[in-house]
Amino acid sequence: MKLPLSWLKDYVDIGDVTPQELSDKLLSIGFEVEEIIAPRNDISGVVVGRVMNIVHHDNSDKLWVCNIDIGEKYVQIVTGAQNVKLGNYVPVATVGAVLPDGKKISEAKLRGVDSFGMLCGGSELGVDDDIIEGASVDGILILPDDSVIGDDILHTLGLDDTVLDVSITANRPDCQAIVNIAREISILLDKKFVMPKTDI
C-alpha cells in the first residue's frame, strides 16, 4: 500500500522522524516497507495552466495558438496537440523550465507566431497512467478540473511527497486504510492520533 507522508501527517505528527527511521520502526512491528519513494526533483518551472483561448494558427492546419492562464499572467503557446480544448487544465512548461530529459524550455517562433513555453504530455513529464489517468495519451495531459492554476505540477501530481510502499500482511487487512496505519504509527511513536473529521 502506498503511504504518502503528507497524508499520514493529517492523522499523526511524526515530528522529525526520517522516512528511513519510520520504515525501520514499521518493520519492528511487522510492516515491511518495500520501497521509499523520494520526491521528484527532475522537473522545474512547470505549472498548471488553463486554456482561456484557442485558435487555429494562420499559417498551419495542424498548429493551435493558445492563450493560457498560469496564475500570475497569461502566456501565448503554440501547440500541435489535437486534444487540447478551451477550458482544459494543462501542464505548462514556462520559459526557463527544465524537463526530466534535461530539455530546457525557451521562447520560440513557430510559423511566424511567438510561443512562450510548451504544453506537456505525460511522456514529457515522465509520468504514466499509474500516476494520473490520461498520462499515456498521445497528446497533452489533461488535468482534473479541480486543479489549481499556477500550482507547481509536482504538487498537483503528488510527486513532491515522500511515499512509503508498505507491504500489508494477510492478517492485517485493517491496515489497508491510511487512517489505520496512522493509528499504528501513533502508538509506535507515542504521538497523539487525530481522528479524521467525518461530518457530512
Q: What is the pLDDT of residue 45?
A: 95
Q: Which pLDDT tens digit goes with each residue over 102-154?
A: 999 999 999 989 999 999 999 999 998 888 888 888 889 999 999 999 999 99
Q: What is the pLDDT of residue 32?
A: 92
Q: Which pLDDT tens digit goes with each residue over 41-62?
A: 899 999 999 999 999 999 888 9
According to DSSP, the residues that pair with 65 across neighbouring strands are: 55, 78
Q: Of 138, 99, 143, 131, which Cα lies nearest the Cα of 118? A: 99
Q: Which pLDDT tens digit goes with each residue over 57-102?
A: 998 889 999 999 999 899 999 999 999 999 999 999 999 999 999 9
Instruction: Compute the Cα dihedral for 21, 27, 31, 37 and give only its sign.
Output: positive
Going by pLDDT thresholds of 50, 70 and 90, the confidence category of residue 182 is: very high
d(C-alpha 110, C-alpha 108), whole Å: 6
